[in-house]
Amino acid sequence: MSTGGRERAAAQRGAAARERILAAAVRRIASDGIDDVRIARIAMDAGVSPPLVHYHFDSRETLLAEALRYSYTRAGDARISGGETPTSSHAERLRQMIGQCLPTTPALAEDWVLWVELWLRAVRHPEMRPVAEELYGRLREWFADAITAGIEAGEFSADTDVMAAVDRTLALLDGLGIRVLIGDSSMPLQRARAAIESSLARELGLSDLSGQRAD
């Protein structure tokens, strides 16, 4: 094998090991919390040596930031870039997006636990705040693009304040989603989802997210 071929193979092995480490870190942070994560345990889960984990992550903040980005890419960008089920309307697409942003499955609940870790860490560690801002920015852009497309198609009210609607929707997702995550009996998943959908429908000039126009 040529020198270039060996270098490419080494780079591929390194990338594969890093992905295994990140996947293991996501699971461990979700199950144990960032403060109780042990590098040796992540290394064992990923099938690598502890020094290799330390090579990629020099602090708990770096570990959490990279785990969050990995989790978002895995569970967020994958569905944003084509994993969504084809829909008959922009309103139905928004219904799907709301479902994807709530802890509706074990995998999404795991992602939610990482978000909670991010919120707490960002309050106490200013260096984590740009990570939170970056991830919220990507969420805002995703929803804004979907709402704008619906306005351009004539499905939503042309008077919709897109970014205000997005911010209120994300605020509801955060507030009601955390109650679902902790198992608040007064806020079951379907009630939370219905409340968020109803609020967004009003923002868009609809009676509901079935796409029916409000009178």
In this structure, the answer to whether residues 37 and 79 fall within a common structural domain is no
In this structure, the answer to whether residues 53 and 146 fall within a common structural domain is no
For 106-131, write each residue's pLDDT tens digit.
888 888 888 888 888 888 888 888 88
- Provide the CATH number for the domain around residue 45: 1.10.10
For 159-202, write each residue's pLDDT tens digit.
999 999 999 999 999 999 999 999 999 999 999 999 999 999 99
In this structure, the answer to whether residues 5 and 72 fall within a common structural domain is no
- Provide the CATH number for the domain around residue 177: 1.10.357.10
- The pTM (predicted TM-score) of the whole model is 0.78
Higher-confidence residue: 155 or 38?
155
Does residue 4 have a pLDDT over 90? no
Does residue 132 have a pLDDT over 50? yes
Residue 112's region, left for phi above 0, alpha for psi from -120 to 50, else beta, is: alpha
For 55-95, write each residue's pLDDT tens digit.
888 877 787 778 877 877 766 554 544 445 566 799 999 99
Residue where a domain terminates, one of 58, 73, 93 = 58
In this structure, the answer to whether residues 90 and 123 fall within a common structural domain is yes
In this structure, the answer to whether residues 124 and 207 fall within a common structural domain is yes
In this structure, the answer to whether residues 53 and 68 fall within a common structural domain is no
Contacts of 72 (CB under 8 A, 6+ apart): 111, 135, 138
**Residue range(s) defining the domain that contains residue 193:** 59-215
In this structure, the answer to whether residues 172 and 210 fall within a common structural domain is yes
Does residue 52 have a pLDDT over 80? yes
How many domains does the chain contain in total? 2
In this structure, the answer to whether residues 26 and 125 fall within a common structural domain is no
Contacts of 63 (CB under 8 A, 6+ apart): 25, 29, 34, 37, 57
Q: Is residue 206 helix, strand or coil?
A: strand
Residue with tokens 């306005």: 151
Residue 154's region, left for phi above 0, alpha for psi from -120 to 50, else beta, is: left
